[in-house]
Amino acid sequence: MARVKPLAELIEGCIGPAFAAQGFASTDILAAWPDIVGERLARFCRPSKLEWPKRKRRTDDAPDSGTLVVRVEGVFAIELQHLAPVVIQRINAHYGWACVGRIVLQQDRVGRSARRPPEATVDPARRGEIAQAVSTIEHDGLRDALDRLGLAVVATSAKR
């Protein structure tokens, strides 16, 4: 009988190669990110990739530190910029070695979808007109798509 595997093992196998392509050794930086930067800041920034320097011949065999690229909402970029030395120190403490030497900020939307406007109410009479207009269409997918389009047009024109 096969043993039950934790979900973390399965996820690591699936998305591990994608993380490796971005320079991360494992997926745990995303899971640990709120602990590293704090809950408040973690809502507005995410690590994007870890860039490693080109290998140089060194005699001491000490690994070089990488550059962590962090996507951050524009409003919090200044705060993260001021906290960068602390964040670098906390990342390195988390991993136990100086893997990150600097942070590069990349302003972008982070993890939250754009706010949807509240659904517009459509007059039931107009709704009936739309339903009647598309009722003769035999193809289900096309009928549904045109029904949604009709509702969007009526809702948009009602706002104007």
Whole-number Å distance between alpha carbons of 59 and 61:
6
Angle, helices 77-95 vs 28-37, to 10°: value is 120
Tens digit of each residue's pLDDT (9 = 90 or more) over 108-153: 888 655 455 566 678 888 889 999 999 999 999 899 999 988 888 8
The larger pLDDT score, comparing residue 78 to residue 64, is at 78
What is the reported pLDDT for 19? 56
What are the phi and psi torsion angles at 71 (to 5°)?
-80, 130
Q: How confident is the model at residue 8 (pLDDT cuts 50, 70, 90)?
A: low
Strand partners, 71: 46, 106
What is the reported pLDDT for 103? 93
How remote is the C-alpha of 109 from its chain's centroid?
Answer: 8
Where do the structural domains in the chain lie, given as residue ranges?
A: 10-107, 124-159
| Strands of the sheet with 100-107, listed across from one edge | 45-51, 66-72, 100-107
Q: Map residue 28 onto helix, strand or coil.
A: helix
What is the reported pLDDT for 26? 56
* Strand 100-107 relative to strand 45-51, pairing: unpaired
Helix (H) or strand (E) holding 92: helix 77-95
What is the reported pLDDT for 9? 64
Residue with token string 């809502």: 43
Query: Is 14's pLDDT higher than 60?
Result: yes
